[in-house]
């Protein structure tokens, strides 16, 4: 059943002097003076409007109150992440972080009074422990009154997913000092429209189990005594085929045995109904980690988040890639795969209260409530930064800072479109051609991973996402490294990117021809989705070493990367990431926006953290 066709978005009344009130309720002057929070100039690309939203359809709405101590929390984060600071790695407890995240009492009171005016039962509101998020379930008609807007039903053209969103929303001016963001509103990035940063490689022949074993044996035999004296030698086949043995040799983790498996853990965050299959995982270990006893090869736990599932009959390429390589490198470190749900398909007559489709917020809300969080998290998804409303992106980025303050290293892939895919035009109405940064890769409180290819030497791969944020300023920790690159880069591609923005990636690793078992068959996969769990696993091992010495985990590592650890990476100086009709950026000596600081050398990194 289709609902009545909507007016064009250009016909929305401007949110200035009047606001909608609940039906039959006189307008309050206090709440009538409204101002716009965010709006789109046009329907986001890749979406089409279908109809007005059903007025009685229930929305699970989140209101993000400004976190009164967030600036102080970030100051703490930078202190405890600075290896030269006396408080280095003195991470915050859950309670301490919650205290910083709490809103001011005036904010809570004002928002409660606003909700009460609109006849919302405050006793039914769900609040986070710190009180910085309020969740309410209300019908669309009431949400429209709250936000002085109109909701519509939209469809994602490529996936067919349908969501209820609006092109603009407003709040009473009084609340602008108290509220960061309201969702769902103008953020159209949903589970199915998000980009998993991996892809199949149909032109690359997979390795059969028998051929792999035979080839590895042959290469070791031909290497003779050199192989016996150097068990970590990188085999020639690694130039075309990536396996755990290749990565463990190339990045020098092959002879490290984790010693803190009772305390250290690694988490992989998965979306898009991507399920990590345990039978495939066992076959992967039998083939590519034959040194591990078969009884131990199950190797990971699955945790369901916000309606996530674990359908073992539908193994996912992305999920299998991530979990097979994190466990393949970090074994026997405990690994957890977080299967994040979201909303079921839109149905006008449904009364679900989980129709949020806000993947980052769903996971953040879940993980922050946990008393214990894995010391390392890896995520291989993202959106073009310009498709994420700025208020939403800034709040999510702060939430990552809060998680990092509790001693967690958060890794995100840099994307697989170089400096930008497609036409690379802006969505602000000007249709200018510019480079397109990715989010959350552009958040300064996560560690972003690019991709390389080949060995002896490794070179940047053209799809490796990299560039400069248009939302977030360049953090001080990377100032010198980025300034040096930009000085040498000169005026090339002038005006195509924000020279003062947060630059990424921070580091990189191999990103092509990973051998992944899917439905019992070996499948070659590539992308920064492959390089990200690789780097995350290496830092999980570094955390293991620190914990074994009764030291705190590394936590937010970016300030450390650009200082003490900068010499612990193999500098990548060849290759580029073209896009948007340009040559993009080039790899260069030192940091560059294609491969970051380079690829990890675990043995060097291990020595560098010894004195911390």
Residues designated catalytic: 318, 322, 529
Q: Packing angle between helix 528-548 and helix 602-609, nearest 10 degrees?
A: 40
In 3D, which of 49, 40, 7 has the Cα closest to residue 154? Answer: 49
Q: Which residues pair with 503 in a beta bridge?
A: 468
Question: What 8-state DSSP symbol labels residue 442?
Answer: T
Question: What 8-state DSSP symbol labels residue 93?
Answer: P
137 in Cβ contact with 164 (< 8 Å):
no
301 in Cβ contact with 335 (< 8 Å):
yes
Tokens read off for 249:
């040799």
End-to-end CA distance of the chain: 63
To the question of whether residue 571 is assigned a binding role by annotation, the answer is yes
Sign of CA dihedral 551, 553, 556, 559: positive
Whole-angstrom Cα distance, residue 381 to residue 198?
9
Q: Which residues pair with 270 in a beta bridge?
A: 339
Torsion on CA atoms 117, 122, 124, 127, rounded to nearest 10: 120
Sign of CA dihedral 548, 549, 552, 555: negative
Within 13 Å and on the Cβ side, how many CA atoms surround 27? 14
108 in Cβ contact with 65 (< 8 Å):
yes
139 alpha carbon, distance to own chain's centre: 31
To the question of whether residue 592 is assigned a binding role by annotation, the answer is yes
Residue with tokens 């080949």: 454
To the question of whether residue 590 is assigned a binding role by annotation, the answer is yes
328 in Cβ contact with 289 (< 8 Å):
yes
Whole-angstrom Cα distance, residue 294 to residue 302?
19
Q: List, in sequence order, the alpha helices (H) in 63-202.
A: 70-80, 94-101, 105-117, 140-147
- For 285-415, strand residue ranges (E) read 300-305, 335-340, 376-379, 381-384, 409-413
Q: Which residues pair with 340 in a beta bridge?
A: 305
Whole-angstrom Cα distance, residue 243 to residue 241?
7
CA–CA distances in Å: residue 243 to residues 101, 326, 508: 42, 12, 17
Q: List, in sequence order, the alpha helices (H) in 457-513.
A: 479-489
CA–CA distances in Å: residue 460 to residues 448, 465, 466, 528, 586: 15, 10, 11, 12, 8
In 3D, which of 421, 420, 414, 341 has the Cα closest to residue 382? Answer: 414
Residue with tokens 């034959």: 290
Whole-angstrom Cα distance, residue 553 to residue 408?
8
Residue 233, phi then psi, degrees to nearest 5: -65, 140
To the question of whether residue 480 is assigned a binding role by annotation, the answer is no
Q: Which residues are annotated as a binding site?
A: 571-572, 590, 592
Q: Which residues are annotated as a binding site for Ca(2+)?
A: 571-572, 590, 592
């Amino acid at each position: 059943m289709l609902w009545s066709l909507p007016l064009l978005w250009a016909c929305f009344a401007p949110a200035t002097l009047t606001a909608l009130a609940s039906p039959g309720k006189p307008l309050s002057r206090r709440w009538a003076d409204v101002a716009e929070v965010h709006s789109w100039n046009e329907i986001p690309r890749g979406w089409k409007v279908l109809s007005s939203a059903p007025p009685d359809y229930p929305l699970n709405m989140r209101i993000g109150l400004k976190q009164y101590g967030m600036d102080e929390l970030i100051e703490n984060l930078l202190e405890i992440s600075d290896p030269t600071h006396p408080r280095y790695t003195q991470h915050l407890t859950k309670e301490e972080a919650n205290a910083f995240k709490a809103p001011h009492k005036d904010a809570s009171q004002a928002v409660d009074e606003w909700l009460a005016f609109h006849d919302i039962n405050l006793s039914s509101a769900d609040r986070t422990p710190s009180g910085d998020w309020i969740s309410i379930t209300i019908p669309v008609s009431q949400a429209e009154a709250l936000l002085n807007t109109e909701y519509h039903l939209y469809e994602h053209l490529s996936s067919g997913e349908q969501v209820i969103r609006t092109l603009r929303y407003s709040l009473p001016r009084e609340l602008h000092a108290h509220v960061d963001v309201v969702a769902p509103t103008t953020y159209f990035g949903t589970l199915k429209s998000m980009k998993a940063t991996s892809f199949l490689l149909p032109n690359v022949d997979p390795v059969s189990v028998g051929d792999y074993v035979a080839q590895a044996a042959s290469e070791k035999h031909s290497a003779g005594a050199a192989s016996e004296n150097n068990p970590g030698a990188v085999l020639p086949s690694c130039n075309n085929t990536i396996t755990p043995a290749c990565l463990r040799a190339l990045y020098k983790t092959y002879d490290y045995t984790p010693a803190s498996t009772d305390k250290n853990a690694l988490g992989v965050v998965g979306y898009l109904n991507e399920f990590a299959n345990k039978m495939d995982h066992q076959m992967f270990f039998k083939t590519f980690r034959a040194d591990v006893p078969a009884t131990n090869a199950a190797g990971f736990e699955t945790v369901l988040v916000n309606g996530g599932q674990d359908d073992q009959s539908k193994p996912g390429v992305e999920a299998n890639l991530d979990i097979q390589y994190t466990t393949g490198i970090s074994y026997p470190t405990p690994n957890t795969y977080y299967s994040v749900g979201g909303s079921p398909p839109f149905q006008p007559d449904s009364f679900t209260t989980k129709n949020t489709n806000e993947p980052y917020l769903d996971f953040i809300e879940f993980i922050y409530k946990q008393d214990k969080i894995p010391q390392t998290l890896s995520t291989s998804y993202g959106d073009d930064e310009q498709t994420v409303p700025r208020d939403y992106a800034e709040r999510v980025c702060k939430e990552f800072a809060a998680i990092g303050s509790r001693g967690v290293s958060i890794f995100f892939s840099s994307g697989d479109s170089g400096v930008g895919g497609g036409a690379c035009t802006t969505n602000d109405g000007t249709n200018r051609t510019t480079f397109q940064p990715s989010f959350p890769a552009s958040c300064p409180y996560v560690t972003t991973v690019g991709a390389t290819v080949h060995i002896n030497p490794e070179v940047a791969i053209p799809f490796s996402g990299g560039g400069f944020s248009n939302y977030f300023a360049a953090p001080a920790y990377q100032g010198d490294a980025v300034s040096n690159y930009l000085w040498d880069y000169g005026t090339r591609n002038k005006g195509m990117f924000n020279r003062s923005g947060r630059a990424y990636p921070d580091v990189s690793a191999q990103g092509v021809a990973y051998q992944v078992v899917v439905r019992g068959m070996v499948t070659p996969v590539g992308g920064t989705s492959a390089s990200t769990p690789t780097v995350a696993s290496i830092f999980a091992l570094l955390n293991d070493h620190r914990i074994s010495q009764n030291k705190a985990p590394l936590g937010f590592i970016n300030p450390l990367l650009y200082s003490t650890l900068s010499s612990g990476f193999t500098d990548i100086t060849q290759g580029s990431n073209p896009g948007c009709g340009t040559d993009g950026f080039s790899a260069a000596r030192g940091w560059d926006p294609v491969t970051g600081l380079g690829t990890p050398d675990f043995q060097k990194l291990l020595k560098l953290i010894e004195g911390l």
